[in-house]
Chain A
Amino acid sequence: MVEKRLLFMLGKRCYSLPVTSVTEVVKPEPVAWIPRVPPHVLGLMNLRGHIIPVVEGSLLFGFHAELSGPETRVIVLDGGLGGEMDLVSLRVEAVLGIVPMPREEIQSRETLVGRDLHPAVAGISCRDGRSVMHLDPNQLIHSAAPGETSQV
């Protein structure tokens, strides 16, 4: 089985998300900072009248935050519950494109046991000599959400 996945860069590494979880990819919009949320939540952006939280991907995965460059993009994700309220977005260093990804090429995260993997990483594969971390969108959103402890 082949799944289409969106490839993007964070901390000079390659990550992917299934395209079915992605609503759109946009250039960065100004972000309004809000208090009392974890540092990886940059704030809110206005996307055609919708208010969408922006998560800084680099900070979420433990890298240094990169300054916004010409390649910076914001991936808008559907939070899964449906409706505009549950859109959330991930700021990434660059979006590489959409590639078909055969399931059998993806190794499960268990093969990397012992490595300190981010909980959102569901699998890994090697593509053109470079490893790609495949993310589970629900786990990604779950790990980024402030949840009960929204105090910094």
Chain B
Amino acid sequence: MDEIFQDFIQETAELIAMMEQGLLTLDEQREDRSPIQEIFRAAHTIKGTAAFLDVFAMADVTHAMEDLLQKMRDGKADPTDPAMEALFAGLDAVKDIHEKLKAGQPVPEDWSALTTRLLAPDSPMVDQPVSPMVPAEETLAAVEEEVDQILATVAAEINQDESPAEDIVFSSQPGAEKMSPTVQPLFPAARPVEETIRIRVGRLNNVINLIGELVTIQSGLNLAERRLHDAELSRLTLRLRKVLTRLRNSSLKLRMMPISHLFDRFPRLVRDLARKTGKKVQLKVSGGETEIDRNIIEELYDPLMHLIRNSIDHGLESPQLRHNTEKPETGTVSLTAFHQDNHVIVTVEDDGMGIDFDSVLRRATEFGLLPGTDTSSLHLDDIINLIFEPGFSTRKEVSEISGRGVGMDVVQSRIEALHGAIRVHSFPGTGTQFEIRLPLTLAITQVLLVETGVHLFGLPLLTVLETTRILLSSVEEEPGFRFFYLREEPVRLTTLQSLLGLPEPELNNDLVTVIIIQFSEQRMGIIIDRLAGKQEVVLKTLGGFLGKVRGIMGAAVLGDGRLVPVLETGTLIREHLHG
């Protein structure tokens, strides 16, 4: 697709976010009309570009929104409930058209029901479908052809070196001065924009992957240098290492984005969910400036959305119930992000009723998740972790809001696919907190190398709590399993061989090396033969022939050319425990 169209798609996404934020602010404090300017400007910009590219549906809707906003700004209309709803409906329509354009799908042409509603929001209206039907003959090919034509026209116009009206959506300050008076934007840009250049994500990923490869080659070079004892080589490797470290650090920053790009999408969700459930909810967001790999941001939306839905649907009580229990009627859902060591921690927390341990237990028993288990012996951590079991949901009826066939097990596996981990803390009557721990970037993974028999494996460092050495004579034996005490706390013990289905090793030495793995809220000790250091690697998938092998995250080539499979410890342990 052509750059101009791509730019339009990208810019419109930003403007939609801007409109959304403005509308939410206005919705909350209706007497303060200052957000209207910004919403108006965003709608105006979209309208201009959309009309220029012949995306008339979007131009029509934004035009109608613009009209209503102008009336509000001039005091000729009030931000009444129906007016706000109409504006939100308009925004949804713009979003919808934007999504369709992005996906190359045909865009519905007729939005007259919506535009009429926007023009006179307070007049009584009949329920009309907001989204008109797509004419059947409007095939993808036809749209593509049309877009190609538009783009050809655009290219021709640009070649004439005349700035067509309103094609400048955002310009850096110097460019703005050159614009002719007739195309002055209605409102001058409020703040200077840092000059940026848009790069396709694919190209960027390619560069970052190549730098990852360079890092791997460099660690091989270091090994060779230590072997060869050549002064000249040593000097050059040292210089290379320094430059490469800087190159790597700056390249990783290229793909980092503030997590607010993700967080900004939730206020609207919370507002809509609050209306649907009849609960009063405020969303508190903090740490939006925390930077994280863009590729992680993309994958994090669904799990976070699910957790927030859960908090509002299952966690928060009704205003009445909150009132009766002397809690503020408005419940709070907090979304927080911060850096810790080399990780990003994201938490979703509510001040609701907390997880009901008894009903979790009942449910798990009903579903046969605890065959032959004496439930009275279960630790609270064990109980709460049952919510991560496949197919678990505490609501008997599938609710419209959080019941979409998506369980916490899916949230967990999505987080683990990002090399992250999720934990839950819950306090009856006080609330629930989900804590997600994520790596800063997916470009390079830190792995702990472990040897077992003749095999070498990598374990993502993120899942390893610590490594320790214990005396086999101190291990407690129970029928079917072993455990030992780590600083007075019992930790279940197994061998890496048994996790992988290899023959059990003979342990001749009393002193053994154990790595402590964190999975969900639990810990497990794994006996290995030897630690072989840690390394930063570029994780690759196993490829189309093998497909997804359960328990294996991928493989990586080490600096010395050896190849290691990188294990998904969470999956391996869970399968080991559940047979």
Tell whether A146 pairs with B544 under 8 Å between CB atoms, given A35-B552, A36-B552, A51-B563. no
- For A147, list chain B residues within 8 Å (CB): 547
Query: Does the CB pair B550–A49 fall under 8 Å?
Result: no
Stretch at the interface among B332-340, B438-446, B535-543: B535-543
Number of interface residues of B (CB under 8 A): 26
Query: Does the CB pair B564–A32 fall under 8 Å?
Result: yes
Tell whether A33 pairs with B455 under 8 Å between CB atoms, given A49-B557, A51-B542, A51-B555. yes
Query: Does the CB pair A37–B549 fall under 8 Å?
Result: yes
Query: Does the CB pair A36–B547 fall under 8 Å?
Result: no
Query: Does the CB pair B547–A145 fall under 8 Å?
Result: yes
A92 smallest CB distance to B (angstroms):
17
Chain A contact patch, size range: 20 to 34
Q: Which residue of B lies closest to A52 (CB)?
A: B543
- Cα distance A41–B565 when bound, in Å? 14
User: Taking the complex as formed, is B223 at the interface, i.e. its CB lies under 8 A from any CB of chain A?
Assistant: no
User: Taking the complex as formed, is A9 at the interface, i.e. its CB lies under 8 A from any CB of chain B?
Assistant: no
User: Taking the complex as formed, is B456 at the interface, i.e. its CB lies under 8 A from any CB of chain A?
Assistant: yes
Question: By DSSP majority rule, is chain B's interface helix, strand, loop, or mixed?
Answer: loop
Residues 358-375 (chain B) with a chain A CB within 8 angstroms: none
Contact with B542, one of A46, A53, A79, A84 (Cβ below 8 angstroms): A53
- For B540, list chain A residues within 8 Å (CB): 51
B219 smallest CB distance to A (angstroms):
13
A-B contact count (CB 8 A): 85
Q: Which residue of A lies closest to B217 (CB)?
A: A49
Contact with B541, one of A79, A85, A151 (Cβ below 8 angstroms): A85
- Cα distance A53–B563 when bound, in Å? 11
B262 smallest CB distance to A (angstroms):
29
- Cα distance A87–B545 when bound, in Å? 8
Contact with A49, one of B213, B545, B565 (Cβ below 8 angstroms): B213
Contact with B545, one of A32, A36, A53, A152 (Cβ below 8 angstroms): A53
Contact with A81, one of B455, B544, B547, B551 (Cβ below 8 angstroms): B544
Residues 78-132 (chain A) with a chain B CB within 8 angstroms: 79, 81, 84-88
- Cα distance A53–B542 when bound, in Å? 8
Contact with B500, one of A30, A35, A81, A146 (Cβ below 8 angstroms): A35
Tell whether A36 pairs with B549 under 8 Å between CB atoms, given A46-B557, A49-B557. yes
Query: Does the CB pair A34–B557 fall under 8 Å?
Result: no
Q: Which residue of B lies closest to A31 (CB)?
A: B563
- For B542, list chain A residues within 8 Å (CB): 34, 44, 51, 53
Tell whether A87 pairs with B543 under 8 Å between CB atoms, given A33-B455, A49-B213. yes
- For A152, list chain B residues within 8 Å (CB): 501
Contact with A79, one of B501, B544, B563 (Cβ below 8 angstroms): B544
Q: Which residue of B lies closest to A32 (CB)?
A: B563
- For A34, list chain B residues within 8 Å (CB): 542, 546, 549, 552, 555, 565
Query: Does the CB pair A150–B549 fall under 8 Å?
Result: yes
A47 smallest CB distance to B (angstroms):
10
User: Taking the complex as formed, is A45 at the interface, i.e. its CB lies under 8 A from any CB of chain B?
Assistant: yes
User: Taking the complex as formed, is A141 at the interface, i.e. its CB lies under 8 A from any CB of chain B?
Assistant: yes
Q: Which residue of A lies closest to B455 (CB)?
A: A33
- Residue from the set B500, B544, B545 with the largest chain A CB neighbour count within 10 Å: B545
Tell whether A150 pairs with B550 under 8 Å between CB atoms, given A30-B562, A32-B563, A35-B501. yes
Contact with A141, one of B213, B545, B549, B551 (Cβ below 8 angstroms): B545
Q: Which residue of B lies closest to A86 (CB)?
A: B544
Query: Does the CB pair A145–B552 fall under 8 Å?
Result: no
- Cα distance A32–B555 when bound, in Å? 10
User: Taking the complex as formed, is B561 at the interface, i.e. its CB lies under 8 A from any CB of chain A?
Assistant: yes
Q: List 4 A-B pairs, minimum CB-CB distance, nearest first.
A: A46-B563, A85-B543, A35-B500, A88-B545
